[in-house]
Amino acid sequence: MKKKRFSKLDLYVLLLIAVFVAYGIFILNNISLLNSFNTTGQIGDTIAGVTAPAMGLLNVILLFLALREQRKSNEQFKQQFIQQAATGRLIENLKILREDINNFVFIHREIIDVGKAVESEWKGADAIKHALEKYTCLHITPTPPEVENQHILPCLIQIQWFLEEIYYLMGDIKSDVILEEDQSHLMRILQNIYYSKFRIYLAINQDRRKKKQKPCRVCGDTHGLPEQVYELYDLINAKIDNKCKKVKIHATLRTS
């Protein structure tokens, strides 16, 4: 932390006090270089009597200036502590988010014949990729709703939660409390998580999102990847491009 110097105003005040002391010695006591000190006393007593009050006032002013600088230093220290604490919390949240995504598991059980089924398991980014693909495949042939809810929809809810966390962390990183250099560093970490785990797969399946699909010829409903997920996808992309507006996030996906 840099130590602040006195301002020009403070120096001017000190200079004014010095001039005032000199003026008091020679004017207020009616002293000149040609006068004797018979009426005013010894020169030492005269100067001490004049300067003592001025020096006392000067000490008070210097004490005030010192306390003011100390208060500024304390405020700076407090602000630095708040910034470090906020940055530390964000780093910890990013670490937790990365670990949660890497530990995310998608298990899919596919019936290949009567009485025969194959169970597949994916983890991390692969789990996100296959959850999106399998959800779309479910609508190619009629699928009981309970199968959809049991195997796929809970995973999409988790994916939506991950995207919400990324979206809100972006807002926290851009807070005024965080230093600009820390903002850049934290944002790069978060964008790396988003690009490597989500954006690539959401972009590939973007044509399968629900609002781009036509009504089903069999049931009349519109099928596709949930808009709740892709609304967050759009918001995060816009925030990265600095074009984000405050938009209310869609309600969470439901399993019923």
Render pLDDT for 144-188 as a digit per residue (tens, 0 to 9).
444 444 557 788 889 999 999 999 999 999 888 898 889 999 999
224 secondary structure, DSSP code:
S
Identify which of 146-150, 209-213, 250-254 has the greatest average pLDDT.
Answer: 209-213
pLDDT at position 141 is 46
- CA distances (Å), origin 17, targets 59, 200, 228: 11, 71, 71
Q: 240 by DSSP, 3-state: which?
A: helix
pTM above 0.85, yes or no: no
With a cut of 50, say whether residue 195 has pLDDT above it.
yes
pLDDT at position 68 is 85
Closest CA to 198 of 98, 108, 121: 98
With a cut of 90, say whether residue 256 has pLDDT above it.
no
